[in-house]
Chains A and B, each alone.
Chain A
Amino acid sequence: MSECNYLYGNYCAEKRVTVLSQMLDFCGIEKDRLRARWVSSAEAPEFVEEINEFIDVLKPLGPSPLKKQTSKDVA
């Protein structure tokens, strides 16, 4: 955690994510849709692994019911 390029940036983000994830839950949105992980730019395999894990969580949840129709969908 203490290796952030922006010194304390990830600590600051972590505190906010704590709040936001509970707010999502409060509004009835699965809080698993939000995830924060710290991966350095030199750790490509770790990054891939994190994303793959996240995808495994997201797939069963499906698209968000709040997804906006884009002009592409309409056409």
Chain B
Amino acid sequence: MIDIVRQKISKLLSDGSVKGVVALAMANGHVAPCLFQKEDDLEPLCLGDTKKPGDARYPLNKVLITIARQYPEDVFGVLVRGCDERGLYVLYRLNQLEPDKVMTIGIACPQELAKACECKKPYPDELVAGEKTEGITQQGVQDMEDMDLSKRFSFWKNQFSKCVKCYGCRDICPMCFCRECSLECEDIISKGELPVDIPVFHLTRAMHMTDRCIDCGLCDETCPSGIPLRLLYKKTSKIMNAEFGFTSGINKNEQSPLNLMGPAPEK
């Protein structure tokens, strides 16, 4: 798979269709995001496979946004998995990236990674390398809904109490790009105090992810306290789907019902 990806990147760079490609590199035994600009410099390119396939993932779109803000006229390539491509669709909708300034190099995730991520769509629409595998059915939200109210209360209270307010969940999230963050607004969230404001801190973030989260799972992976954050956002997604028939990142020209000026659209 990596050879096909390398060929594709090399072609994009040599024919001048892109100024650079945001992908992953292996350097000094570590995987890190990297901007490749020369076709004869692709040796360190990797797909983030260390112990298991794709176990080192990064929010490459986030890196791309930073670069695109500096070089708005140029076209860049980016390595995308299914989740990353969903993220791009949302970022186009929110005017953070321009579709005609981005070229994707899409790779499908192997079944093992799809399982580990509980991913509903482990491949991008525009596939360059890899074989599409089946999406995984998710169970977590249902299990939580089946518990009674007081059980849910103590579950989340315990989870939220573990938060050390490191903001890692926000910082890693490819859908978090705001220059000013509500989680740092002292009218909502108290500063320098632990435990966090329960449930305000986590529900504020959840509400902001309502029509954005593309279920990549990076927040879950990042949280040093092991709070099942993604489960919260899976629930917001489920509500959005049930109430408004909306799933974020599923199609390229999507519109969020929350941003429509007016009542919720007919399903």
A residues with CB within 8 A of B? 1, 7-8, 11-12, 14-16, 18-20, 22-30, 65-66, 68
Contact of A23 with B152 at beta-carbon distance under 8 Å, contacts A8-B261, A8-B262, A66-B157 already known: no
**Chain B, interface size: which category?**
20 to 34
The reply to whether A28 and B153 contact each other, CB–CB distance below 8 Å, is yes
Cα(A28)–Cα(B197), bound, Å: 16
Closest to A1 in B: B263
In the complex, B103 has a CB within 8 A of chain A: no
Question: A15 — which chain B residues lie within 8 A by C-beta?
Answer: 243-244, 257-258, 264
Query: Shortest Cβ distance from B201 into chain A, in angstroms?
Result: 12
Cα(A68)–Cα(B197), bound, Å: 8
Give how many A-B residue pairs fall within 8 Å (CB-CB).
71
CB 8 Å contact bits of B204-224 with A (1 = contact, 0 = none): 001100100000000000000
Task: Point out the residue from B154, B197, B210, B263 that lies within 8 Å of A19, measured CB to CB.
Answer: B210
Residues 184 to 235 of chain B near chain A (Cβ within 8 Å): 197-199, 203, 206-207, 210, 232, 235
Question: B210 — which chain A residues lie within 8 A by C-beta?
Answer: 16, 19
Besides A14-B263, A15-B244, A23-B206, 6 more A-B contacts (Cβ < 8 Å) are A1-B263, A11-B261, A19-B207, A23-B203, A23-B207, A27-B153
Of the listed stretches B29-37, B38-46, B122-130, B142-150, chain A binds: B142-150
What DSSP secondary structure best describes chain B's contact surface? helix
Cα(A29)–Cα(B149), bound, Å: 7
Closest to B207 in A: A20
Residues 136 to 192 of chain B near chain A (Cβ within 8 Å): 144-145, 149-157
Task: Point out the residue from A22, A27, A30 that lies within 8 Å of B156, measured CB to CB.
Answer: A27
Query: Shortest Cβ distance from B98 into chain A, in angstroms?
Result: 26
Closest to B242 in A: A22
The reply to whether B261 and A30 contact each other, CB–CB distance below 8 Å, is no
Cα(A19)–Cα(B206), bound, Å: 10
The reply to whether B239 and A27 contact each other, CB–CB distance below 8 Å, is no
Cα(A73)–Cα(B264), bound, Å: 43
Cα(A14)–Cα(B264), bound, Å: 9
Cα(A14)–Cα(B262), bound, Å: 10
